[in-house]
A and B are shown apart, each in its own frame.
Chain A
Amino acid sequence: MIALYRLAFLGLLIFLWWVASINVGRNLVPSPLATFQAAQVMIGEGRLATALWDSLSIYLSGYAMAIVVAIPIGVAMGAFRVLGKTVELYLYGLAATPRVAFIPLVIVLLGLGFEAKVFIVFLGAIMPILINTYAGVLDADEELIEMARSVGLRRTRIFVQIVLPSAVPFVIVGLRLGATIGLINTVVAELYTAVRGLGGLLAIYGNTFRMAEYFVVVLTLAAIGIVVTEALRYLETRLGRWRKAA
Chain B
Amino acid sequence: MSMDRPIDGIDGRTEPGPGRSPAGAVPGARIVLDNVVKSFTSAGSAKSVLALKDVSLSIEDGAFVALLGPSGCGKTTILRLVNGLILPDSGTVRVSGKAPAPGPNAGFVFQSFRLIPWTNVLGNVAFALSATRLSGAEKTERARRYVELVGLGRFAEAYPSELSGGMKQRVALARALATEPDILLMDEPFASIDAQTRELMQIELMRLWTMRRSVALFVTHSVDEAILLADKIVLMGPRPGRILEVIDVGLERPRWSYDLRAHPRYIELRNYLWERIRDLVMNDPGSDFYGRDLGVMSSSGRSD
The residues of A with any CB-CB pair to B shorter than 8 Å are 143-144, 146-153, 157, 161-162, 165-166, 168, 240-246
Contact = CB atoms under 8 A, between A and B. Distances in A.
A159 to B, nearest CB: 13
A161 B127 CA distance: 10
B106 A144 contact: no
A143 to B, nearest CB: 5
B161 A245 contact: yes
Given A148-B130, A152-B130, A161-B127, 6 more contacts: A147-B108, A150-B108, A153-B131, A242-B117, A242-B118, A243-B117
Nearest to B83: A150
A153 B161 contact: no
A150 B159 contact: no
B116 A162 contact: yes
A165 B161 CA distance: 16
B102 A149 contact: yes
Nearest to B160: A242
A143 B112 contact: yes
Interface residues of B, number: 25
A150 B106 contact: yes
Contacts of A146: 85, 114
B127 A151 contact: yes
11 contacts: A143-B112, A144-B116, A147-B110, A147-B114, A151-B130, A152-B101, A152-B103, A161-B127, A242-B117, A242-B120, A245-B161
A16 to B, nearest CB: 41
B275 interface: no
B131 A152 contact: yes
A93 B177 CA distance: 50
Interface in B93-140: 101-104, 106, 108, 110, 112, 114, 116-120, 127-128, 130-131
Contact of A165 (B112, B118, B120, B159): B118
Residue among B112, B118, B128, B161 facing the most chain A CB atoms (10 A cut-off):
B118
Contacts of B85: 146, 149-150
Interface string B148-163: 0000000000111110
Contact of B114 (A143, A241, A242, A243): A143
Interface of B: 83, 85, 101-104, 106, 108, 110, 112, 114, 116-120, 127-128, 130-131, 158-162
A220 to B, nearest CB: 37
Contacts of B101: 152
A161 B130 contact: yes
B59 to A, nearest CB: 18
B102 A151 contact: yes
B192 to A, nearest CB: 13
Nearest to A162: B116
A214 B108 CA distance: 65
Given A157-B130, A245-B159, A246-B161, A151 B116 contact: no
B116 to A, nearest CB: 6
A151 B101 CA distance: 10
A151 to B, nearest CB: 5
A139 to B, nearest CB: 13
B110, B116, B127: which has the most chain A beta carbons within 10 Å? B116
Contacts of B162: 245
Contacts of B114: 143-144, 146-147
Contacts of A168: 118
B37 to A, nearest CB: 22
Nearest to A145: B114
A242 B127 CA distance: 17
Given A165-B118, A242-B117, A151 B104 contact: yes
B102 A152 contact: yes
> 6 closest pairs, A vs B, by CB?
A152-B103, A152-B131, A246-B161, A242-B159, A245-B162, A147-B114
A150 B102 contact: yes
A168 B160 CA distance: 18
Nearest to A240: B118
Contacts of B159: 241-242, 245
